[in-house]
Amino acid sequence: MNLTNHQVRLAARPTGLPDASSWEVTTELVPAPASNEFVVEVSHLSIDPAMRGWMNDVRSYIPPVEIGAVMRALALGQVTASEHPDFAVGDHVSGAFGVQEFARSDGSGVNKVDPALAPLPTYLGALGITGITAYFGLLDVGRLKEGETVVVSGAAGSVGSVAGQIAKLRGCRVIGIAGGPEKCAWTVDELTFDAAIDYKSEDVRQALRGHAPDRVDVFFDNVGGDVLDAVLTRLARGARIVISGGISQYNATQIRGPSNYLALIAARGTMTGFVVFDYLPRYQEAITELAGWLREGKLVSREHVVEGGVQAFPETLLKLFAGENIGKLVLAVS
């Protein structure tokens, strides 16, 4: 058995993109479980844009990661030792185990997952937090109605790809916005979106005139910045903008807000932020429906799995900001 536990800790708070000076790799002995605890060997780490925000010392929906602490990360793993009545050796579990090879847990926030029902990485994608974010963001915050025109940014990413598919399943016209021809082709050819706009080579506002002549009822925004500004100019009356995230601003030293927000007045529109954790009591509702669609072949879950172990975490995180992932970015650990 592996007796060492490699961990990635936050060494310094970055300005702009994190680099090597942001991180420290430490080695400890694998912990032993105390009474009512168990130890998990981490197999997969969820690589999330939100991690960049957790590195900042600012007030948010969750406290920042402290300097010197193991970097916070949602993860999957298998129980290797247990003194807990509800978790047995061999159980597959998901939880906030952090960027490390082994984690000790008292079971708080930990759920069992069944690798017989779906491949493990899917529990970080369509059946995980990003799938749940897409589900409640679109249906609850966005109050989606059948037949509406929906625009999704970050459309080939983890949240965006699921959000667009849910809108299709609800009978909507869906336009994705993504970076590059490969991502755009994937959303149309495999995810059956009605159209896609490559924001890196097209004028988004102009393209929306063609793809959404009746304007946009719901905009599920993952990126903010120029893309948000462009969609703001094409709102239908009563439009809802769902602020899921704003990845274009996560490394900015000066955040740029939307300059076209006054368009909300004429549209009688709303722009609403949300945090998926607030839906915790209703997670099962989303998972049941998402799992049903997956089982019936109505929902595609794509995971972009990078091999390399915890040492590869710093460079893997940067892939999100370079747009190298299609679908859910996952780092395989063991």
Contacts with ligand NAP by CB under 6 A lie at 48-50, 129-130, 133, 154, 156-160, 178-180, 183, 222-223, 225, 244-245, 247-248, 274-276, 320-321, 323, 325, 329
- Of the candidates 98, 58, 69, the one whose C-alpha atom is nearest the C-alpha of residue 11 is 69
Cβ-based nearer residue to ligand NAP, 29 or 322: 322
Do 153 and 184 meet the contact criterion of CB atoms below 8 Å apart?
Answer: no
Centre a 10 Å sphere on the Cβ of residue 277 and count the other Cβ atoms it contains: 13
- Of the candidates 41, 28, 51, 10, the one whose C-alpha atom is nearest the C-alpha of residue 104 is 41
Cβ-based nearer residue to ligand NAP, 113 or 196: 196
Do 204 and 155 meet the contact criterion of CB atoms below 8 Å apart?
Answer: no
Cβ-based nearer residue to ligand NAP, 33 or 131: 131
What the block records as the tokens of 119 is: 């491949």
Residue 137 DSSP class: I
Do 36 and 21 meet the contact criterion of CB atoms below 8 Å apart?
Answer: no
Do 289 and 170 meet the contact criterion of CB atoms below 8 Å apart?
Answer: no
Cβ-based nearer residue to ligand NAP, 98 or 225: 225
Beta bridge partners of 219: 151, 241
Least separation in angstroms between CB 173 and ligand NAP: 20
Least separation in angstroms between CB 138 and ligand NAP: 12
Least separation in angstroms between CB 264 and ligand NAP: 20
Q: What is the DSSP string of 178-220?
A: ESSHHHHHHHHHTT--SEEEETTTS-HHHHHHHH-TT-EEEEE
Cβ-based nearer residue to ligand NAP, 157 or 164: 157
Least separation in angstroms between CB 23 and ligand NAP: 20
Cβ-based nearer residue to ligand NAP, 129 or 333: 129
Cβ-based nearer residue to ligand NAP, 8 or 204: 204
Least separation in angstroms between CB 204 and ligand NAP: 11
Alpha helices in 137-178 (DSSP H): 158-169
Least separation in angstroms between CB 75 and ligand NAP: 14
Least separation in angstroms between CB 328 and ligand NAP: 6
Handedness of CA 195, 217, 255, 157 (dihedral sign): negative
